[in-house]
Amino acid sequence: MKTLKQKMAERPVLGMTIYSGSPAVIDIIGRWGLDFAFIDAEHTSMGIDNDMEKLCMAAKISGVSPLVRVTRVDDIEIRKSLEMGADGVIIPHVKTLEEAKACVRGAKFPPKGRRGIDGTVRAAQFGAKGFSYDEYFKVQEDCLVIPMAEDFEFMDNIDAILDVPGIDAINFGPADYALSKCMKTFYNLAEPEIRKALGEIVEKSRQRGVKVMAPVIPPTADSLKAALDAGVGMLIMGSDMLNLNRACAAIMEAAQKNALA
């Protein structure tokens, strides 16, 4: 089976943010063929703990790649997420060169980083039959490091951040980026200043072989095409909560037009 990094080298990849913490939801999106589950520990009650390990397990079972958004730039959270089976980490509010370096340092083994090693974790198959450290190092090389561009400070330091070796993708967060500039446009990628920032991220990332992730909201064909046309290669097709709300709204609209009329 191809890794998410291998898929990214061939084509755009699709995912969904998981806020509910439900293994069943992750199982479902995997069985529908999405490429990654964006498991959010930043804005939810989920922690980097046993529950996170179960969500990574659910992803592996259904063939979708688990990407964990940790709560902050923290080498322990980054390392533990990967040890629990995440295929990559998404790190919020990266603003400076030093923070970008810290993201890589926590995710990569020496000489690329300073991640600690343990052969008894899930990602190492608990050191069970057939385990080898050499193979573990090789597999973990494909784990993705994805800082988030969601503050004006990121854009102030964009060249230095993107020059950090070991960064695989940049996740553009338009809502928080807008708020950092005292704008309330949220997920409107068509707003001129938001579009300009995304365009700069895409252009500079492409020059360095770095992919760009961004939300597709609403997750419609038109929004998807617009994101692809803008150069986004990792497409977040809304979230489980957004899509459940959209489904419920459609159900109630149909009911009000018919059975409840």
Model pLDDT for residues 195-221, shown as the tens digit of each residue? 999 999 999 999 999 999 999 999 999
As a whole number of angstroms, the distance between CA 184 and CA 175 comes to 8
**261 has pLDDT over 60:** no
Is residue 87 over pLDDT 70?
Answer: yes
Whether the Cβ atoms of residue 167 and residue 145 lie closer than 8 Å to each other: yes
pLDDT of residue 61: 96
Between vectors from CA 141 to CA 230 and to CA 227, what angle results, nearest 5°? 10
Q: What is the pLDDT of residues 128-152, one digit of tens each?
A: 999 999 999 999 999 999 999 999 9
53 within 8 A of 32, measured Cβ to Cβ: no
Query: pLDDT tens for residues 164-195?
Result: 999 999 999 999 999 999 998 988 888 999 99
**29-67 residue pLDDT tens:** 999 999 999 999 999 999 999 999 999 999 999 999 999
172 vs 179: CA distance, rounded Å: 13
Kindly report the pTM of this predicted structure: 0.96
Above 90 in pLDDT, residue 77?
yes
Q: Which domains are delineated in the chain?
A: 4-257 (3.20.20.60)
Rounded Cα distance between 101 and 162, Å, is 10
Average pLDDT across the chain, whole number: 96
The DSSP call for residue 166 is T
What percentage of the chain carries pLDDT values higher than 90?
94
What's the token pair of residue 75? 């080498």
